[in-house]
């Protein structure tokens, strides 16, 4: 069975950056990339998402890595919002690959644009995992979609 959600995994780090793998699937579409983030980026992501949603007009946007194919690494942009007056949450994602990581020469970057429903409790769990995320082999933070 395919995991329906978002997974961020540790790949390696040095003094300047952390490389993470990013995989998201809403059950119909999926995308995978690798991204370079600062050492504090995942904790900052947790701070941005903490307590979402506070009200039905609440919206949170963030980017991990880069969506510009001229730079090394890929990335993901995420916009969390409420889709109805009951406060049901959704996330809009755009995942972009690194053009230089393609196995064929001069291939353009690839991307996927998708939407997924997500429960507030799942976001709370994701925030906890992001705060605990360590730059060690096997580290993983996941957000389950509904």
The strand pairing partners of 80, in sequence order, are 60, 91
- Mean pLDDT within 111-135: 95
CATH of the domain at 108: 2.30.31
pLDDT of 102 > 60? The answer is no
Res. 59 pLDDT band, cuts 50 70 90 = very high
Instruction: Give, for 134, the enclosing helix (H) or strand (E).
Output: none
CB of 75 closer than 8 Å to CB of 66? yes
Q: What is the span of the domain harbouring residue 103?
A: 5-144
Give the residue-averaged pLDDT of 17-42.
Answer: 96
The answer on pLDDT for 135 being more than 90 is: no
Residue 109's nearest CA partner among 58, 138, 84, 72 is 72
Per-residue model confidence (pLDDT) at position 72 = 85
Q: What pLDDT does 104 receive?
A: 56
In the chain, % of residues over pLDDT 90: 82
Residue by residue, what is the 3-state secondary structure of 1-64?
Answer: CCCCEEEEEEEEECCCCEEEEEEEECCCCEEEEEEEECCCHHHHHHHHHCCCCCCCCCEEEEEE
pLDDT of residue 58: 97
Report the mean per-residue pLDDT for the chain.
92
The pLDDT value recorded for residue 106 is 66
Quote the number of domains for the chain.
1
From CA 76, how far away is CA 74, in angstroms rounded? 7
Strand partners, 22: 8, 33
In the predicted structure, residue 127 carries a pLDDT above the cut 60: yes
């Amino acid at each position: 069975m395919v995991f329906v959600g978002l997974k961020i995994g540790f790949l390696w780090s040095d003094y300047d950056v952390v490389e993470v793998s990013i995989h998201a699937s809403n059950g119909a579409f999926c995308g995978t990339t690798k991204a370079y983030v600062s050492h504090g980026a995942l904790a900052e992501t947790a701070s941005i998402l903490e307590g979402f949603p506070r009200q039905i007009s609440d919206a949170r946007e963030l980017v991990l890595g880069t969506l510009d194919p001229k730079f090394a690494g890929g990335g993901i942009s995420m916009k969390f919002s409420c889709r109805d007056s009951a406060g049901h949450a959704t996330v809009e994602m755009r995942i972009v690959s690194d053009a230089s990581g393609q196995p064929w020469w001069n291939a353009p970057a690839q991307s996927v644009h998708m939407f997924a429903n997500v429960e507030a409790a799942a976001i709370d769990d994701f925030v906890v995992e992001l705060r605990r995320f360590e730059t060690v082999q096997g580290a993983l933070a996941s957000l389950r979609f509904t």
